[in-house]
Chains A and B, each alone.
Chain A
Amino acid sequence: MNIVVCVKQVPDTATERKLRSDDKTLDRDAADGVINELCEYAVEEALRVKEAHGGEVTVLTMGPSKATETIRKALAMGADKAVHLVDDALHGSDALATSYAMAQALKKIGFDLVILGSESTDARTGLLAAMLAERLGAPQLTLANKVELSGQSITIQRLTDYGYDKVESTLPAVVSVVEKINEPRYPSFKGIMAAKKKQVQTLGIADAEIDAAQVGLAGAWSEVVDFAAAPPRAAGTIVKDEGDGGSRAAEYLASKKFI
């Protein structure tokens, strides 16, 4: 079983995140880069599938050279090897361009199962898994909080507003996972040491047969027109409860016609 887990380095949400004033893209130098939280669940799920069914787990990331830190984290958790899609031409790619580049890389690597987090904390589009399924012509098994494999069949529980849908398909398939599907393991000391020796292959756009005109800022299908720091919310009324806090809140809600 060839399992590819896609991971993304994102700016730490605990630090101030910014857009660059020059090209209006994410300022990746302004904040510390960390592995996107939902990607940790994806790595864990990939490792569990491997442990139960055998195979190999390959980490795939697209991002600048400093994204190797995120690759090492996934390798330290136990993934076998990694592919780093890195090229200046990819800078500024939007969701369409990213899905195109990632799909090209996945075709190059080959896969039975692709696993991703359902969204990233930076752009939060939640688009990539569905776009990859579309581009790869593979079944879309997304928003999974449970994954089960049996031979060439795969079944997931897909979270919905009313509960969940049980969805099945055959492999190869694209799976995205939600928070709490599992409890991601912490890398062990041994894992961290071993990760340093694992193979990380870098792919440029030519290696992955990516058309330069379809990626990067110039190849994007959408653009940021302008942006500005959100104006601070007007200072509210803060009162100390003197035994009548609930009543005063009710008065406020009534004044705003909520009750």
Chain B
Amino acid sequence: MAEILVLVEQVDGEVKKVTLELLTLARSLGSPSAVWAGPGYSADAKARLAEYGADKVYVADSAEIADYVVAPKAELLAQLVGSAAPGAVLVAATAEGKEIAGRLAVKTGSGVITDAVGLGEGFVADQSIFGGGVNVHSRVTRGTPIVAVRPNSTAPVATAGAGAEEQVTVALSDSARAAKIVERVKQEKGARPELAEAAIVVSGGRGVGSAENFALIEKLADTLGAAVGASRAATDAGWYPHQFQVGQTGKTVSPQLYIAAGISGAIQHRAGMQTAKTIVAINKDSEAPIFELADYGIVGDLFKVVPQLTEEIEKRK
């Protein structure tokens, strides 16, 4: 069975959910090998990766790998592509994951597919393009397929892999050391999950009306353990920070459940959320295009519906 490299995404040594999804996906295509890049590796991390199917765990945990932007991870993966000759390389389709994929593609003379929402036999990828209007099957035709897969594309399923650990040393080139990270600034985000990874996202739009009113959206999100998003109208108005914008020029999310409150559903927004599995919309305008996408829609005042929904969920807990 072909070896499939999966680049591990981790925060302070904790393996992110998207990596478990990628391991699950890799298992359907071959034998998954997790690639740990940077400091923070531990026996717990290894156990987690093996639990979700990693037959091998390549460990390159020198601090240096995380000290520079993107290039060291691409060099590490290129080295492994050379030595292991894998069937494919999977990375998470985050902004940084895609950049790593891009550099790796250039280094190894390989094609790259971004934002896959599925991956099947022959490494044929499913993509959803033009704001969800067109479904595409695509594949890499030269080199080693490099595929950036969107978070939430596969449900993670635990199935033990052998978890054989192999230490890897990578000698970074001078050019990989060109862009140095001199400071990491962590901004408070509270206990909420990351927007791109969250299984549930609750977003507010123009109808929310003010920054203060976003408390309603946050409260509903917290009741569901969800991330908070915002439409461009809301971020442009300064009601919610720009990094939470869902849409064409913001984040693309693909959660199990997306709740849109006071969002009309313009193409700008749809491009960022149309691949959500279940969509619930609350809007007072029955003609709002968001209702065309909604699995469940409530035509009504979000200031009445959202608090009632929040309260009802609390009651049922």
Residue positions of A touching B, CB distance < 8 A: 13-14, 16-19, 37-38, 94-96, 99, 118, 121-131, 133-135, 137-143, 155, 157-170, 173, 179-180, 220-230, 232-234, 236-241, 243-250, 252-254, 256, 258-259
Contacts and interface: CB of A to CB of B under 8 A. Distances in A.
B140 interface: yes
A46 B268 CA distance: 26
Interface stretch (B32-40, B80-88, B93-101): B93-101
Given A159-B243, A237-B295, A246 B311 contact: yes
A162 B14 CA distance: 14
Highest count of chain B CB atoms <10 Å: which of A135, A221, A247: A221
B228 interface: no
A241 B261 CA distance: 14
- The 6 A-B pairs of least Cβ separation, nearest first, read A246-B308, A241-B300, A221-B111, A250-B312, A163-B187, A139-B178
Contact-residue bracket for chain B? 35 or more
Interface in B267-312: 267-268, 271, 278-280, 282, 286, 291-301, 304-312
B142 A13 contact: no
Contacts of B309: 245-247, 249-250
A178 to B, nearest CB: 8
Given A127-B101, A233-B293, A246-B304, A256 B278 contact: yes
A96 B69 contact: no
Q: Is the interface of B mostly helix, strand, loop or mixed?
A: mixed
Contacts of B271: 13, 121
Contacts of A227: 134-137
A167 B224 CA distance: 36
B114 A137 contact: no
Nearest to A165: B181
* Residue among B105, B182, B280, B291 with max Cβ neighbours from chain A (10 Å): B105
A241 B106 contact: no
Given A258-B257, A259-B224, A238 B297 contact: yes
Given A139-B178, A162-B187, A239-B299, A13 B131 contact: yes
